[in-house]
Structure 1
Amino acid sequence: MEARNRTIEDWFAWIRDGHVVLPRFQRFEAWGWWQVQGILENILRKPALPVGALLTLEVGETPPFHARPISGAPQPQGRPGYHLLDGQQRVTALWRSLNGLYPDFTYMVNVDSNEEPEIDAIRRYDNKGQRYPRWCNSPVETWKRRRIPVEMLAPDEAGRGRLKVWSKEAAAGDMDFYSEINEIANELRGRIAKFSLPFLSLPLGTSRDAALDVFIKMNTQNTALSAFDIVVAQVEAEMDASLHEKVEALKAAVPGASRFGDPGEIAMQVGAILLGRPPNRATYLSKDFGASLAKNWADVERGLLRAIGFLAEEKIFNAKLLPSDPILSVLAAFWATAAEGKDAEGAARRLARKALWSGAFSERYQKTSATRAALDVRQLIAYRDENGPLPELLDRQRTPLPTVGELKTGGWPKTKDRLGRAILTASLRIGGYDFADEAPFGQESFEKREYHHLFPKALLEKNFEKRDIFCALNCALISWRTNRSIGAKPPATYIAERAKEIDIDEAEVSRRLSSHAIPVEKLTTGDFNEFLEARAKMIEGVMLKLCDGENVGLHDVF
């Protein structure tokens, strides 16, 4: 391995000519604005501070990996000379910032801090066809603030051309300003151009496996490799395939997956369970996992598509409604091999419902969730396909459901409280009609709804603890218009107002309230403790039916 030095000016020439590119398995850009800001400040200060060495792989006639250009760089026209294995976050940050390629930020140097220049990261946004802050669009206004955009300092002809135009506009005919701007900018550009970025280079002839092994073992300066990054490299090595491309295809085939988290991470979890292994880092980093995941990709995709469709039937449309994260990967692995059509699919759906709600209401996945998720899928599939023994997940001796008293401890569903979310989603399973407009709860209406206190905080805070006020049993998910109009009114008051304003009788208002598994009589009497007891019992009834695989509806509570 040879150590070398190249200036940023030379690196930019290589990037522009396609002489240095990224191997396809490299992660996408991961740095935040503060990291871009930091590397620019380190380079511009006098004396400059080091920003770390890069690692490259020298490429011969036949490149060992598929490649792509640095983000924002031209497509290579010929054979590249180097693949950048480590340091792409730094190189990408420099290339994009110094070429003005960040749409959400403009980076500017404060020219009054000469020895240790400060970089401002100005957040940009559009409003009614205008780009804000508006002063950033005006060279005159920018120079009044003694700022120069860093894209004027790029160490190449494009940067010099941009500065020539910008400095004329900023000076507005004042030759003293024009001279000052160019003097300062050219001095700062010189610091950037001559800054040395050292690199280690793996020699020509280094094997694919060796290069990937080095890549996996090395972390970048500020952003460590994730398990997904490593699996991407494994797939590239074993299958000569791009996991990034597979994930993009998955997003298109299963658009709902993104609502539950990062599709790549979810796919790894499902893939691990399909292999009979726990979805954890130890599994992901095993040498054969990447190839096995790629081979089973069709099953992963099919399982996720069916699982997300099933969750939608159960009124769970996104991660904010999912009581416990492992449930999605368990259901996806289950549905990947479930029969399609007729009685067999109906039986699978009933079993999946048992598994979903048992996992949601129980403490099954509170500890050792990865191991239990893999075990549960094996047992559920054996139970479904081979008349195997009752899975632990469905065994009430081994996986008990909460009592009425325990249901009262469910926390506010907006937080990531498992039992609180289970209570809320089970109540919405009844129908979840809005109090005022009668719209049923669905995927489209979720973003329009808010977490409403059935007994307002103002009525309770003198006599009850915060944990009681913010409990799941005191929560309903309703539209924002309804929530604003209810405000802090006692339940009996806003129920009477609903009947009058909407011109419906109280029985209809009660039906809408009941569709949230709310005991209307106890709500209107105004006794909070009695209400919690009654609603806990009502939720318990819904829970038991769901955990037994039954379909529930308004008839179960009204």
Structure 2
Amino acid sequence: MQESIKAQDRTLGDWYNAILNGRIKLPRFQRYEAWDKGRICSLYDTILNNLPVGVALVLNVEASKEPFISRYISHAEPSSPEFATQHLLDGQQRLTAFWRAMHNSYEWNTYFAYIPEFDDNANTEVDFEYSCRVISRWQKKDNKQLYPLWANSPKECLKRALLPLSLLKPGDTNQTEIDDWLKAAIGDEKPNIQQYLAEVTPEEQLGAIKKFQQDNDEYEAKEKRLREVINLLKVRITHYNMPYLALPVTTPKDVALQVFINMNTNSKPLSLYDIIVAEVESIKGISLHDAQQELLAKHSDIEHYEDPGWLMLTTAALLQDKAPNQRGALDMCKAKMVEQWDQVETGLGRMASFLSEQGIFDYQRLPTNAVLAVLAACFAEAPENGDKLGYIKNVLTRYVWRAFFTSRYENSTASRAFADYKVIREVCFNGSDAEQALNDAPVFNEKLVDIEQLLVEGWPKKTGSLRRGILAVTTRLGALDFADSQKATYISLQQRHYHHIFPDALLKEAGLEDESYRALNCALISGRTNMQIGRKEPWEYLEERVGHVDRQTAEYRLKTHLIDPVRLAEATYQGLEGADLSAKVEKDYRAFMRSRAELVLSAATKLCNGQDISVEGLFASH
């Protein structure tokens, strides 16, 4: 019977040299660094105190004949690389943290070994003989120095009993670095006989010489002890055992990949994207990481809506007749995904452009992400121009707004999106009787929401297709900013707040606090937050946002948010208080909310039927 693979010993000194010379590399499908500073410190606590650490996993490879496309460990690209002899399948986070802390290559963190015997204020009760400490760094706007400044000073570091981990690299090549650090840390403490004799009389010279000898002995003892500790820790790190399992050179790529997946299911398991990245790499030798970066370089707005990696997978799954979920992404053919990559890329880019045309610019304002893969997959197969493209865009316009203003995607969104996609694709690309076939798509049969549902929908800053759909209708109309008339765009919306049209304080005073956070009482505008406006009347408050413009301009800006200026103008409360105030506010608020609900539903109905909308048209029929 063949014996199972046994762990082999390997010192950190040997790991260090293998990384230094490029003999150890990472398969490119490996995800990038994921450890935070706490885990890095914990690793060094383990190493400095010679405690055991987990086993690594490598795949032995033939020199100049690597089975996977590979990359060097972060910040460890050698100047004169040798041929790789091993691919690191598990242990990347440990060895990357080990290498980078040894070379002080973290931009905003510096790592030290804490030596309690050099700390005059040390607590006698310490967890470890030695431990790792991390100092977070920062820069001021006016200079490029790293703060705190003391962390740049060997003398100040030693006062805190801290030795840079970079002094403890395996081997003897950094002896000059150690000497320079010690000189900077304690060099000015070295006694000088001339100074001791300069200020004494001849009769006092003998005493001064004795004092010099005593101080010099203490200095040499301190320097000797510092060198001993540095050497002790260097030796400890150099000879620390980090064992590994090695898969033989003859291991098939698919077996190595499966072992990699199985070994990476511990404290930070692989994501679905990580697994598929690995599978694609093993099958086709192509990096999805690289493909994703190229995609975002061409269409950066894709990531405004969803994680690009997930969008890539769900779109590819739909193109292979699989559901846009984890199961579909796992079941799809990875080789075919690579073959269809140009379609995936095209579809995602056109999806983002289409949503922008619809006035939906980012995830924070997206009513439901269930539509994303459906849009991308449809656009992936659509012609570049012509009447056919116009028809497809009309169908998709009807689809997305029905997704927002029906209950279709409240539950089981992936399976429902898959069912709708299959019908929409049939209609758009296979010459089916359009309207008859669309009746088979559940989303086109769902009943649109009514006025009463709109009136009770909650605050749109929270997720929810209907509440965000209400806001999306206004951004579709441009949602001009009250202050500067700037149209809603991705950039402008990042500067806007979710404002109460009827101020929250006014509604609370009228006893309507439960009504304040309704979607219909919200407008996306810039300016101060509601905490600063008190209980002002709606028009008075909004006038402050509008600034010095004529009434007609101000009213048009309101209308782009489907706010009827007439309703706000009626909401005046001069001289009212108590029950009279409450009654008037409630009456005005109810009338305003119903008026806005009617406008929103009118706009949504048109969009759901594939019709265009305009401010003038909606208010003309209101």
RMSD value, Cα: 2.5
Alignment of 1:171-320 (within 5 A): 171=186, 173-175=188-190, 176=219, 178-179=223-224, 181-219=226-264, 221-286=266-331, 289-320=333-364
**CA-CA distance at 1:361 after TM superposition:** 2.6
Contact 1:105 1:122 in 2 (8 A): yes
Distance, in Å, in 2 between the alignment partners of 1:116 and 1:550 is 74
- Offset of residue 378 of structure 1: 1.5
Cα deviations by residue, 1:402-432 (Å, 9 ceiling, x for unpaired): 2212123333222223322211121111111
**Residue-by-residue CA offset, 1:294-345 (whole Å, 9 max, x unaligned):** 1111110000111101111112222112111222111111111122223222
The 3 A distance-change label for structure 1 pair 188 and 360 is farther
Aligned: 1:529 with 2:573: no
Structure 2 CA distance for aligned equivalents of residues 342 and 269 of structure 1: 27
Aligned residue identity for 2:257: L
Q: Is the 8 A contact 2:348 2:380 kept in 1?
A: yes
SS at match of 1:448: coil
Q: Which residue identity is paired with 1:310?
A: F
- Judge conservation of contact 1:519–1:531 (CA < 8 Å) in 2: yes
- 1:160-193: CA deviations, max 9, x gaps? 5544333332335225465554444433333322
Match of 2:115 among 100, 107, 111: 111
On the 8 A contact 1:455/1:528 being kept in 2, the answer is yes
Structure 2 equivalent of residue 52 of structure 1? 54
- 1:134 paired residue number: 149
Deviation string for 1:462-483 (max 9, x for gaps)? 5557653222212111123697
Equivalent position of 1:124 in the other structure: 137
Match of 2:8 in 1: 4
Q: Which residue of 1 aligns with 2:438?
A: 390
Call closer, same or farther: CA 1:107–1:95 in 2, change over 3 Å: same
Tell me which residue corresponds to 1:374: 418
Amino acid in structure 2 at the alignment position of 1:127:
K
Q: Out of 295-304 and 254-263, give the one that drifted further.
A: 254-263
Provide the rounded CA distance (Å) in 2 between the counterparts of 1:319 and 1:471: 20
Aligned AA (1:489):
K
Cα distance change of structure 1 residues 466 and 181 upon mapping to structure 2, 3 Å threshold: farther
1:359 and 1:393 in contact (8 A); partners too: no
Aligned to 1:74: 77
Mapped contact 1:315–1:429 kept (Cα < 8 A): yes
Structure 2 CA distance for aligned equivalents of residues 393 and 104 of structure 1: 53
Alpha carbons 1:486, 1:494 under 8 Å: kept: yes
1:356 to 383, 400, 410: 400
- Once the two structures are TM-superposed, the CA of residue 33 in structure 1 deviates from its matched residue by 2.5
Shift of residue 224 of structure 1?
0.8
Could you say which residue in structure 2 is the equivalent of 1:100? 104
CA drift at 1:71: 0.8
Amino acid in structure 2 at the alignment position of 1:54: A
Q: In terms of mean alpha carbon deviation, does 159-168 or 410-419 score higher?
A: 159-168
Q: Which residue of 2 aligns with 1:439?
A: 486
Counterpart contact for 1:238–1:291, Cα < 8 Å: yes
Match of 1:333 among 368, 377, 381: 377
Query: Is residue 2:508 matched to residue 1:461?
Result: yes
- Provide the rounded CA distance (Å) in 1 between the counterparts of 2:265 and 2:226: 36
Q: Is the 8 A contact 1:143 1:170 kept in 2?
A: yes
Could you give the per-residue CA deviations for residues 356-414 of structure 1, whole angstroms, max 9, x where no partner exists?
Answer: 111223332232222222222221111223235115556554x2322212123333222
Residue 21 (structure 1) aligned with residue 25 (structure 2): yes
**Does the 8 Å CA contact 1:411/1:467 hold for their aligned counterparts?**
no
Give the Cα–Cα distance (whole angstroms) in 1 for the partners of residues 606 and 62 of structure 2: 65
Instruction: Describe the superposition over 1:421-460 as per-residue Cα deviations: whole angstroms up to 9, x where unpaired.
Output: 2111211111111111111111221222122122222222
Partner of 2:243, secondary structure, is strand
User: What is the aligned-residue identity percentage?
Assistant: 36
CA contact 1:451–1:475 (8 Å) conserved in 2 = yes
Aligned residue identity for 1:362:
T
Q: Which residue of 1 aligns with 2:180?
A: 165
Aligned to 2:196: none
Instruction: Give the distance between the partners of 2:186 and 2:567, measured in 1 at CA.
Output: 74
2:15 is matched by which residue type in structure 1?
Answer: W
Question: Which of 225-234 and 165-174 deviates more?
Answer: 165-174
TM-score of the pair, normalised by structure 1: 0.92
In the alignment, what sits opposite 2:168? 153
Partners in 2 of 1:239 and 1:300 — Cα distance? 17
TM-score by length of 2: 0.83
Q: 1:289: Cα distance to partner?
A: 2.9
Cα pair distance change 1:121/1:463, threshold 3 Å: farther
Equivalent-residue separation in structure 1 for 2:16 and 2:140 (angstroms): 34
Distance 1:81 1:422 in 2: 56
The answer on whether the counterparts of 1:320 and 1:414 sit within 8 Å (CA) in structure 2 is: yes
Does the 8 Å CA contact 1:358/1:393 hold for their aligned counterparts? no
Contact 2:318 2:374 in 1 (8 A): yes
Give the secondary-structure state (helix, strand or coil) at the position aligned to 1:5: coil
For structure 1, list consecutive stretches of 5 or more residues without a partner in the other structure.
none
Contact map agreement 1:56 1:85 (CA 8 A) in 2: yes
- The one-character-per-residue Cα deviations of 1:467-500 (angstroms, maximum 9, x if unpaired) are 532222121111236979857633121244567x
- Equivalent residue letter for 2:186: A
Change (3 A) 1:296 1:208: same
Q: Secondary structure at the match of 1:285?
A: helix
Deviation of the 1:17 alpha carbon = 0.9
Using a 3 Å threshold, how does the CA distance of structure 1 residues 73 and 404 change in structure 2: closer, same or farther?
same
What residue ranges of structure 2 are gaps of 5+ in the alignment? 117-125, 191-218, 572-584
Q: CA deviation at 1:68?
A: 1.0
Secondary structure of the corresponding residue to residue 497 of structure 2 = strand
Tell me how far apart the structure 2 counterparts of residues 384 and 214 of structure 1 sit (CA, whole Å): 43
Distance 2:556 2:40 in 1: 56
Corresponding position of 1:427 = 474
Q: Which amino acid in 1 is paired with 2:110?
A: T
User: Contact between 1:283 and 1:289, CA under 8 Å: does it hold in 2?
Assistant: no
Larger radius of gyration: 2
Distance of 1:261 and 1:179 partners within structure 2: 58
